[in-house]
Amino acid sequence: MLEVRHIDVSYGDVQVIWDVSFSVRKGEVVALIGANGAGKSTILKTVSGLLRPGKGEILFSESPIHLTEAFHLIEKGIAHVPEGRRLFPEMTVDENLDTGSLKGTARAGREETRETVFNLFPRLRERRKQLCGTLSGGEQQMVAVGRGLMSRPRLIMFDEPSLGLAPILVKEIFHVITRIREEGVTVLIVEQNVKQTLAIADRAYVLENGRVVLEGAGAEVAGNEHVKTAYLGI
């Protein structure tokens, strides 16, 4: 479904991604793991068109998207739940959800999708008229995930959804991600929370200093000696 082929990405003159390739097949949960600064967010931003690869290509459902304007990608079926939530703080929960469904069939099915989001996160229903800037961190993350789902994506990308959340909320978010995949949505997840991520991932790629250093099935990567010492602290 998503094919990233040999991309290089730079910020100005500073190259941070080197010849990275990976793929996500339909129905999979694929994890990109790596330390802070490894380049995980940069890769997701490149997939969603906020950054352009200097080299290489990105295909989605067989067609190239690395030259497509960022704002067209949501219509193609890619949702990106960015690092740090990036909600619209001066808008209510409902309005933030609205912004997830501005286009096409998502627009037509807005109220129906909103219901599914509220069923997934019942707390949001109580807060729907509240400004997002005044929500707790966990609630904000729920809105961010919900806003991503509002576009009825075929591929949803999560950038560190568990960052800064209490353990119980981390559990809830991971639970929701497995439910999302059960609904048939393909998931690409970026995390530093390696243990829980590998537990739900079909396959994983390990990123170090902008390069893929290891890839394999989730359990396989979790069993790797290097991963154990460097990321799992075993």
Partner 1 sequence: MSSAQLEVLLQTLISGLLLGGLYALIGIGMTLIMGVMKIINLAHGELMMVAMYIAYGLFTLFHLDPYLSVFIAAPALFVLGVLLQRFLINPVLKVDSILPENQVILTVGIGMVLANLATVFFTSDYRSTPVDYATKAWYLSDFWKGSPIELSLSFPWSISFLIAVAITIALWFFLAKTDTGKSIRATAQDNDAALLMGVNVGRMRVITFGLGSALVGAAGCLFIPIYYLYPDLGGQFTLIAFVITILGGLGSTVGAIVGGLILGVFESLTATYAGMGWAPVGRFVIFIAALIFIPGGVVSLLRRQKWGR
Ligand X SMILES: Nc1ncnc2c1ncn2[C@@H]1O[C@H](COP(=O)(O)OP(=O)(O)O)[C@@H](O)[C@H]1O
Binding site for Mg ion (CB under 5 A): 41, 83
41 is a site residue for ligand X (CB under 6 A): yes
Contacted by 16, from partner 1, Mg ion, ligand X, none: CB < 5 to 8 Å by type: ligand X
Beta bridge partners, 187, equal: 29, 156
Binds ligand X (CB under 6 A): choice among 1, 24, 38, 149: 38
Residues that bind partner 1 (CB under 8 A): 48-50, 69-75, 79-80, 82, 86-91, 95, 98-100, 102-103, 107, 134, 147, 151
Interacting span for ligand X (CB under 6 A) from 40-48, 62-70, 108-116, 131-139:
40-48
How many residues line the site for ligand X (CB under 6 A)? 11
Q: Compare residues 3 and 75 and give the one whose CB is closer to partner 1.
A: 75
Judged by beta carbon distances under 5 to 8 A according to partner kind, the member of ligand X, Mg ion, partner 1, none in contact with residue 112 is none
Q: Minimum Å distance from CB 182 to ligand X?
A: 27
Check binding of 13 to ligand X (CB under 6 A).
no
- Nearer to partner 1 (CB atom), residue 56 or residue 104: 104
Q: Are strands 186-191 and 29-33 parallel, antiparallel or unpaired?
A: parallel
- Check residue 127 for interaction with ligand X (CB under 6 A): no
Return phi, psi of residue 188, to 5°. -120, 120
In contact, 40 and 159? CB cutoff 8 Å: yes
The reply to whether 63 sits near ligand X by the rule CB under 6 A is: no
| Shortest separation between residue 16's beta carbon and ligand X, angstroms | 4
Please enumerate in sequence order all residues whose Cβ is within 8 A of that of 134, keeping only pairs 6 or more positions apart, or say none: none
- How many helical (H) and strand (E) elements, i.e. helices and strands, does the chain have? 11, 10
Indicate whether 213 belongs to the interface with ligand X (CB under 6 A): no
Please report, as a single letter, which amino acid is at residue 136: S
**Using rule CB under 6 A, residue 16 touches ligand X:** yes
Closer Cβ to partner 1, 16 or 91, answer by number: 91
Collapsing DSSP states into helix, strand and coil, what is residue 79? strand
What CA–CA distance (Å, rounded) separates 234 from 149?
35
Residue 134 is given by DSSP the state: G
CA–CA separation, 157 and 186 (whole Å):
9
| Contact between 27 and ligand X per CB under 6 A | no
How far is it, in rounded angstroms, from Cα 69 to Cα 65? Answer: 8
Contact 27, 203 (CB under 8 A): no
How far, in whole angstroms, is CA 50 from its chain's centroid?
14
Kindly list the residues in this chain that would bind ligand X in the complex (CB under 6 A). Answer: 11, 14, 16, 34, 36-42
